[in-house]
């Protein structure tokens, strides 16, 4: 299955920080992030992705667009290296691979509706679902001025044992996410062209298999 599914059942842009951001406390960062994502109902963005498989020592790049909405609704559209769509309305999950003319379909995992799958829910209730620290307590920001947080799920999953987030310190928009699984393989995603609360239609999060496409149970 595509590396994005790892992120989905795990959970998901550049600007300089304002003067004095290095004095930001962890509590202030958590409150800022929780407030921003607690008010968010939907999000769309473009992304670039690098999936690293530690056991195989292989790296696969990818890119596309993502749409998220509260309630476990999501849509990942991969344009490279292979076109693929991963869609959920919160109840059903579809994975469509045009090159195979195949749709994998099944009940959406429970995790999609929770903090692991829906970062809109997870980041809006950060303290409830994660143990949080600065990645580098001595220097809370990276070279680009983004606040970098190291999150450990209170209930880890095989697909999500650790999550590193880089967020812009004024708007708290997500710039980068690194997801670790239990085997220390990673999916690194960078987000650009983010639009928040743009009123995404629920129709975007349903999928009708194209005529002639084979439907295969999702495993």
Q: Tens digit of pLDDT per residue, the chain (219 long)? A: 554 444 444 443 322 233 334 478 999 999 998 888 888 899 999 999 999 999 999 999 999 999 999 888 999 999 999 999 999 998 999 999 999 999 999 888 755 544 445 555 567 778 888 899 999 999 999 999 999 999 998 887 788 889 999 999 888 999 999 999 889 899 999 999 999 999 999 999 999 999 999 999 987
Res 84: pLDDT: 94
Structural contact between residues 49 and 62, judged by C-beta atoms closer than 8 angstroms: yes
Pick the closest to residue 118 from 173, 69, 172, 174 (CA basis).
Answer: 69
179/8 Cα distance (integer angstroms): 10
Quick one: pLDDT at residue 48? 95
- How far apart are the C-alpha atoms of 42 and 31, rounded to whole Å? 20
Strand partners, 93: 88, 106
What pLDDT sits at residue 128?
84
Residue ranges of domains in the chain: 3-196
Per DSSP, helices labelled H in 39-81 are: none
Q: Which residues contact 218 (CB under 8 A, 6 or more apart)?
A: 93, 95, 104, 105, 106
- Reduce the DSSP state of residue 93 to 3 states and report it: strand
Write down the pLDDT at residue 108. Answer: 84
pLDDT at 203: 95
Mark residue 178 as left, alpha or beta (left: phi above 0; alpha: psi -120 to 50; beta: remaining): beta
What pLDDT does 72 receive? Answer: 83
The CATH number of domain 3-196 is 2.50.20.10: yes
């Amino acid at each position: 299955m595509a590396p994005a599914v790892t992120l989905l059942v795990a959970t998901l842009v550049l600007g300089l920080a304002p003067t004095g951001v290095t004095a930001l406390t962890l509590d202030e960062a958590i409150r800022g992030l929780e407030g921003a994502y607690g008010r968010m109902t939907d999000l769309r963005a473009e992304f670039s992705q690098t999936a690293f498989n530690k056991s195989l020592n292989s790296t696969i790049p990818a890119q596309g667009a993502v749409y998220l909405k509260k309630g476990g609704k999501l849509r990942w559209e991969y344009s490279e290296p292979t076109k693929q769509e991963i869609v959920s309305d919160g109840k059903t999950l579809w994975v469509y691979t045009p090159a195979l003319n195949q749709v994998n379909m099944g009940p959406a995992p429970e995790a999609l509706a929770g903090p692991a799958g829906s970062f809109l829910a997870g980041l809006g209730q950060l303290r409830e679902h994660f143990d949080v620290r600065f990645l580098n307590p001595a220097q809370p920001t990276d070279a680009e001025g983004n606040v970098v947080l190291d999150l450990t799920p209170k209930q880890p999953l095989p697909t999500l044992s650790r999550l590193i987030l880089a967020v812009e310190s004024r708007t708290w928009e997500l710039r980068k996410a690194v997801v670790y699984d239990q085997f220390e393989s990673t999916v690194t995603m960078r987000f650009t062209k983010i639009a928040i609360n743009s009123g995404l239609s629920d129709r975007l999060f349903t999928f009708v298999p194209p005529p002639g496409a084979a439907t295969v149970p999702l495993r």
